[in-house]
Amino acid sequence: MDEITGILYAKTAGVGTLSEGPKYFIKPLDDYANRWSEILVRKKTHLWENDPVLHKFIDKKVLILGEIIETKSTITVDYEFVRVLD
């Protein structure tokens, strides 16, 4: 299992559609910051729903444990565990 540290935030996606809802991203503060300005955090709900685990950590410094899927042009985190860092 991989880990990433950063600031979690959300953007509204699909504005004006039935699937309008939050997309969660992390601004990395560790080694990933050299390569990526933001990393998509895959939520475990429908597109239009808030993820109850991620949503309570918005605008906080967090540690995410999970699988990091990185290609040449994209990076995504499939989270298993999230916790706040001081």
1-33 pLDDT, tens digit per residue, is 999 999 999 999 999 999 999 999 999 999 999
H or E, element range at 52? helix 52-55
Amino acid identity for residue 43 in this structure: K
Please answer whether residues 33 and 69 qualify as being in contact, where contact means their C-beta atoms are separated by less than 8 angstroms: no
pLDDT band, residue 76 (cuts 50/70/90): very high
- Is the distance from CB of 47 to CB of 14 less than 8 angstroms? yes
Q: Where are the domains of the chain?
A: 2-84
Confidence (pLDDT) at 86 = 81
- Counting every residue, how long is the chain? 86
CATH-assigned architecture of domain 2-84: Beta Barrel (2.40)
- Maximum alpha-carbon separation in the chain: 37
